[in-house]
Structure 1
Amino acid sequence: MSIEVGSKLEGKVTGITNFGAFVELPTGVTGLVHISEVADNYVKDINDHLKVGDMVEVKVMNVGSDGKIGLSIRKAKPESEQRPQRPQRPSRPRQGGGRPPERPENFETKMAKFMKESEENLTTLKRATESKRGGRGARRG
């Protein structure tokens, strides 16, 4: 019996680590169920969900060229048991509300806007540097 991606198999948990659980499949090979594939909700400690010796149903997610097998317990559950997907929001056509469409600015308008912002930034910068140069106390003369 070869292991194919997408097939569901019964396996035995043979080892538990902080990142997942190793499951021995009926063919004698071992695959890994990553901690994110154990349950639909967040799993902080895998020991709360599995223990060595448990029989679990797994779905083969991938088979690497190096022989590593990726498994999932949560995707092996029937569709009715899985967490329902969030419904998509219907897209609403834009109506008159909101900002009016911008009309393209000409070069002179853009340049005037840039010069105004630049002058404001330079003034702010001058104030900040002049106050730092003053030092403590009065000026020496």
Structure 2
Amino acid sequence: MLGRTYDGEVCSIARSLEVIGERWTLLIIRNALFAGVTRFGDFQRRLGIATNVLTSRLDGLVAADVMEKSHTTTNTEYLLTEKGRDLSGVLVALTDWGDRWAAPDGPPIIYRHGNCDGAVHSRLACDTCGGQPDAVTASPGPGMPEERWTGAAE
């Protein structure tokens, strides 16, 4: 998708960017998640994206198992997989950041809980105490080779 991979990185952010790090990709996912868009022509009309770029992004999302192609008798639809639907929290977090730092007239979109209609926001919470941390630190996890972590500190 990006035209670049991060083979030298042992980082889930870098690996995620390989799949969803291009701006059109996130907008396609946004339209699929929150507007129910599934058809090529509808993505193209809503986003104003060139057809060759849209084709490339949709093919990449299918290859990454973020979307799947579904063929009906008259149309091909692009449906989010569980992996794709799981990006809703990422998009809500990006929206919260954008509402705070890039929306001078206030939030243009408010996400709502389907059951009670309350506003939905992202929230960091500590697994142990449930509190909202004011500082977050990084430590090695089980997927970090020890030599990479100790080498990064030098």
Q: TM-score range by the shorter chain?
A: under 0.3
Q: Normalising to structure 1: TM-score of the pair?
A: 0.23
| Greater share of residues in strand | 1
| Greater share of residues in helix | 2
Q: Which has the larger radius of gyration?
A: 1
